[in-house]
Chain A
Amino acid sequence: MKYILMMNATKANFDMYAQWSKEDLQRNVAFMRAFSKELKDSGVFVATEGLGWPNEARIVRAGRDGEPITDGVFAESKEFLAGYWIVDVESPDQACKIAARVSAAPGPGGTAASMPIEVRQVLTSFTDLGI
Chain B
Amino acid sequence: MKYILLMAGTKAGVDNYRAWTKKDIDTHMAGLKSLVIDLRESGELVADQGLTGPEEAIVVCGQKEGMPVTDGIFPESKEFLLGYWIVDVATPERAYALAARLSTVPGPGGAPTNMPIEVRELASHPLNWS
Contacts and interface: CB of A to CB of B under 8 A. Distances in A.
Listed residue (A29, A57, A58, A116) with the most chain B CB atoms within 10 angstroms of its CB? A58
B33 interface: yes
Interface residues of B, number: 61
Contact of B59 (A61, A81, A116): A116
Given A62-B112, A100-B69, A127-B45, A50 B130 contact: yes
The prevalent SS among residues of A at the interface is mixed
The prevalent SS among residues of B at the interface is mixed
A121 interface: yes
Interface residues of A, number: 62
Contacts of A68: 93, 96-97, 99-100
B116 A114 contact: no
Interface of A: 4-6, 25, 29, 32-33, 35-36, 47-53, 56-63, 66-70, 77-81, 83, 86, 92, 96-97, 99-104, 111-112, 114-127, 131
Contacts of A111: 64
